[in-house]
Amino acid sequence: MTTTFIPRNLAELQTPAPLVDAALLAGNLALMAEAWPGPRLRPHVKAHKCTELARHQRDVGHPGFTCATIREVEGMVAAGLGQDLLLANEVLDTTRLGALVAAGARVTAAVDSAFTVEAAARGGVREVLIDVNVGLPRCGCSPADAGGLAELARAAGLEVRGVMGYEGHTMMVKDRADRARQVADSMALLEQAHAAVGGPIRSAGGTGSWDLNVSATELQAGSYALMDTDYASLGLPFGPALSILATVISVNQGGWAVADCGLKALGMDHGNPSLSDGSAVWFCSDEHIVFSPPEGGSLPSVGDRVRVLPAHVDPTMAYHERLYLVSDDRVQEAWPVDLRGW
Amino acid sequence: MTTTFIPRNLAELQTPAPLVDAALLAGNLALMAEAWPGPRLRPHVKAHKCTELARHQRDVGHPGFTCATIREVEGMVAAGLGQDLLLANEVLDTTRLGALVAAGARVTAAVDSAFTVEAAARGGVREVLIDVNVGLPRCGCSPADAGGLAELARAAGLEVRGVMGYEGHTMMVKDRADRARQVADSMALLEQAHAAVGGPIRSAGGTGSWDLNVSATELQAGSYALMDTDYASLGLPFGPALSILATVISVNQGGWAVADCGLKALGMDHGNPSLSDGSAVWFCSDEHIVFSPPEGGSLPSVGDRVRVLPAHVDPTMAYHERLYLVSDDRVQEAWPVDLRGW
């Protein structure tokens, strides 16, 4: 990692550079904190991988966080944000987590099998949630097995704080009524499991179910803070706080232009990004985005700046070393994206 | 970046972990070096972003390298590999390149417009190639404009070493005869430009045209060293040296398993990865790959290791801090992926 002078002016930033609009970020955090105040929201740091951003989430009232990797847990503890961390994922190598717990951090791990229960106990993790499959074919035990697994965990000396179940398969259901029904079906499964497990926590949900999930005791939303074009297609009231600043490096009179934001600056699993000015994106290469102007528009000039809106925020952030908090043309702060890796 | 103990045994590696098979890598490097010996190959470091791997490419005879970003150029110079670096991309902010040149590195930049010629001269870059559009709608001037641009560059005091033109649109043409024809068409355009530009270099090509491009004076191939499933589909004689080691963290008797290698460990623009054992990949999430066993196979157990074969090597490597050179179950070396970022 090179030491980098951080310019105060957007025009001087080297590109590609992830920009976070300070006002949109603050608005997104405030809106979610109003709906899910304090510990009712457990923001998922996988969406931004940035402890400075997490600090802003804590400052609007959320004491606990959700993590997807051991590195995220370690980084949050190192940043002084280890008051109540949930690793919402199964892990077998729990020694790094146990070391954090021994040093005073509060770390709760998800378990969905006898293997992961045994790993948690062996590694020194003291608290767990029973991870329940609520419809997404991924991790999680069947609701019918949750009670038995909780017994197993308690017999191994673990504190069972409750259940979690991510209704990820419902997040992108475009029709709101359909989405609501599917969320409710998933939460009925989680409630069934919870009745057998006990404990105060029923952790679930995400940005796509933020105003539909009426069952979760805590919501695990992450994308709401920065957003992406995929979530924007649902018509949620969170603003597109994240864009990637890029420089036009080549213009072809055949009708296209090229800017320096490519596959290595963008999560591509949800397809091509968009340009904020409505240009048509043709394709991305490793370090290029090729586009043509919007209907009736003219080609940009070499040196012009464009803003690229990612289709999927999480794997986008994982490519960048730092993000820039901006207000109009001013760079307010540079924040390390310090939770990358594993 | 955490300081990490590097185990000598594959079983002890934390996952996900990119593995490079030492024998396959050596075979790939040797095969390409036989076809394109010494300076006739200018290996593209964007495919691996690893100076240790580049050092192995130099050790089989290639003195010069191709880069896609300023950071790659800087990192190669810092590693002592700055004998003859081509930045095969347009850049406007050339001051970092000029500083390298002033300190004794040889850096040649691609230019395709008056803007980029002016930027090169202003920033202290002394040598350029005229980048020519040979059919891929991306950077590059039209062949008819190449001679005039070379004059402009020479008038600005720049040394014009020749031309480059990447026939990227032909790389994945599945039919070999078709691919050969399209490569030849592209190279006819590059030769036309070269006649007007002069200079010793006609730089072109990639892994997909390695045995079809009979016109390039130097080939810019990169993917051949590690390979991916997309290039493998062409039936090239380079072996799949790269895989991502993952751990099975959850198994569902409904017929699927989950391992810890997801979207943040894989370039996804070419679609889903594959599993080396032929399992069917269902989907990837941020930190998960969900799959079912191959026809007639049985579900793995929690804790089992699987190998994930990426569909696109370049954006995969850009996610990882280090790669592991392995031979069977032994970890021979850990190499930093030190050319990431911009």
Does the beta-carbon distance from B138 to A287 stay under 8 Å?
no
**Which pLDDT does position B4 carry in this prediction?**
61
Does the beta-carbon distance from A314 to B286 stay under 8 Å?
yes
Cβ-Cβ contacts under 8 Å, A286 against chain B: 46, 68, 314-315
Answer whether B249's CB lies under 8 Å from B240's CB. Answer: no
Please tell me whether the peptide bond between B200 and the residue prior to it is cis, using omega within 30 degrees of 0.
no
Cβ-Cβ contacts under 8 Å, B263 against chain A: 267, 269, 312, 314-315
pLDDT tens per residue across span A53-77: 999 999 999 999 999 999 999 999 9
Percent of chain B with pLDDT over 90: 96
Cβ-Cβ contacts under 8 Å, A284 against chain B: 269
Residue B90 CA: distances (Å) to CA of B98, B103, B114, B115: 14, 22, 11, 10
Using CB atoms within 10 Å of the CB of residue B217, give its burial: 0 to 12 exposed, 13 to 18 middle, 19+ buried: middle
Does the beta-carbon distance from A113 to B89 stay under 8 Å?
no
Does the beta-carbon distance from B69 to A287 stay under 8 Å?
yes
Q: How much is the average pLDDT of B25-36?
A: 98
Closest to B100 (Cα-Cα) out of B130, B79, B117, B118: B79
Q: Which two tokens stand for residue B79?
A: 């590693």
Q: How much is the average pLDDT of A106-113?
A: 98
Does the beta-carbon distance from B92 to A249 stay under 8 Å?
yes
Among A89, A133, A342, whose Cβ lies nearest the Cβ of B14?
A: A342
Interface test with A, best of B3, B67, B89, B272 (most A CBs within 10 A): B89
Cβ-Cβ contacts under 8 Å, A321 against chain B: 341
Cβ-Cβ contacts under 8 Å, B115 against chain A: 302-303
Asked if pLDDT for residue B221 goes beyond 60, the answer is yes
pLDDT tens per residue across span B80-106: 999 999 999 999 999 999 999 999 999
Q: Which residues contact B12 (CB under 8 A, 6 or more apart)?
A: none
Among A1, A137, A318, whose Cβ lies nearest the Cβ of B282?
A: A137
Interface test with A, best of B149, B285, B323 (most A CBs within 10 A): B285
Q: How much is the average pLDDT of A289-316?
A: 97
Rounded Cα gap, residues B121 and A91, in angstroms: 54
Model pTM above 0.90: yes
Among B69, B138, B319, whose Cβ lies nearest the Cβ of A285?
A: B138
Residue B315's closest chain A neighbor by CA?
Answer: A264
Q: Which two tokens stand for residue B274?
A: 């594959």
